[in-house]
Structure 1
Amino acid sequence: MGKDTPDRLFEPLDRDPLAQRIAQTITDAILAGRLKPGDRVTESTIARDLGVSRSPVREAARLLQSAGLLVARPNRGFFVRTITADDLDSLYELRNCIEREAAARLTRADAAVAIPQLLQQLEVMRELASDGHLIPQIRADLQFHRLICEASGNKRFLSVFDQIASEMQACFALFERLFINSHQIVENHLLIIDALRSGDPEAARQAMDYHIGVARTDVVARFRALERNQGV
């Protein structure tokens, strides 16, 4: 190399977020039900519809495979993952492990700073519960819990929660009758806020155990019933 050419171990990265945008577009299609469990994600069709090359579509599919929304089958391509009741139950179990400790950690930090934001999110959830649209309700509910993980200060909690949330959104979007009383679900979040206000880590853990535990029992049971009815 000449004197004016710096030595490089790696080439500069392409900063174009095209693959991420395509991944979000595919995710939105899954959540909206336009792509169903088991559907093939055809690179050529998506590339044609979006007016892009197949390369960023393939990269987006790999991102969604890592997120648990797609599965790759040898010589066949990518398919929308079929999520079972057992998968959902495992997600709830993992979610509770993270969120109960995030809540406890928040009480040991400064929960008073996070509570106004949580109350604001609760108002958003109340408005959406009256609208009757499932997907925005799911996203708002998960955002409430994400705020707790974020405010806890543990970035690992937040990272794992984001992956879990993507899978749970896709799962809930498949079965719109999983939730029968949206208003009651929203108000149940007040128990978490009260526990955070107490400043007691164990109270925060118990509140989250109860909140997620009730949802886990109810939603997984409904999911299993739907699986039986659909012959899964």
Structure 2
Amino acid sequence: MFREQKDDRLKRICRIGIVAIVILSLKFVPSGYFAVYPGPVTNLASMVDVSEHPPGDSSFYMVYVMAKDASVLDCIVAAFSRTIALWPKEQVLGGMTPEEYKNKNVDLMAESQQIAASTALRAQNIDVSEQGTFPVSVSIHAGEIQGPSAGLAFALEIFNRTGVDLLQGRRIACTGVLLADGSIQGVGGVAQKTIACEKEGIDIFVVPKVNYDEALRFARSVQIIGVSTFEEAVRALVQDTVP
């Protein structure tokens, strides 16, 4: 009898061990997806420099997502997680190699900075040449951050430095691709960005209007404002109403 009980315990231990090995092995099996997580919420005070216009008591925040190659185990975890999204790698890369995709996003970040500066300065009636040279020196130090989705945040920070105080003591984060005509395009990862803003204690999160409903689904205490143009974003923050 005791021997049978011992054998049963050994069998249970073996079964548990086998299951554990199978589960752990899934961590090394590629899935063809990127796992996307909430990223940092970054204050722009030290990232944006505008000559003769230092940052005030507060600055805007940019927010971005973190992504990694997802294993099969990551996909299983994501299926039960509110904070993790799965993006098909083929759809994200669009036929590019990872290196080509990275280089493209480096270029898009540089372009978004130029558009942000010209849009913000023109909105303040500061002359900007057709060649894109500015009478006010503007530089943005984004480090390793890539892509165009911080364009709206950069523009609002520059506008805030050179004119009216849009913040009024509020903690405001933004995301959105700003185009040269002042319109704002949608971005990915808004759910994860909203979650990050909640954790950071952000008061207002400004998003592209096309992403408004998604952000609202994941918002708890943060106020969501959806906008379609830069002018609309400025007006909404001045009035503190959703357009």
Instruction: Using structure 1 for the length normalisation, give the TM-score.
Output: 0.24
User: Which structure shows the higher strand fraction?
Assistant: 2
User: Which structure shows the higher helix fraction?
Assistant: 1
Higher relative contact order (CA 8 A, sep 6+): 1
Q: Considering only CA atoms, is the larger Rg found in Structure 1 or Structure 2?
A: 2
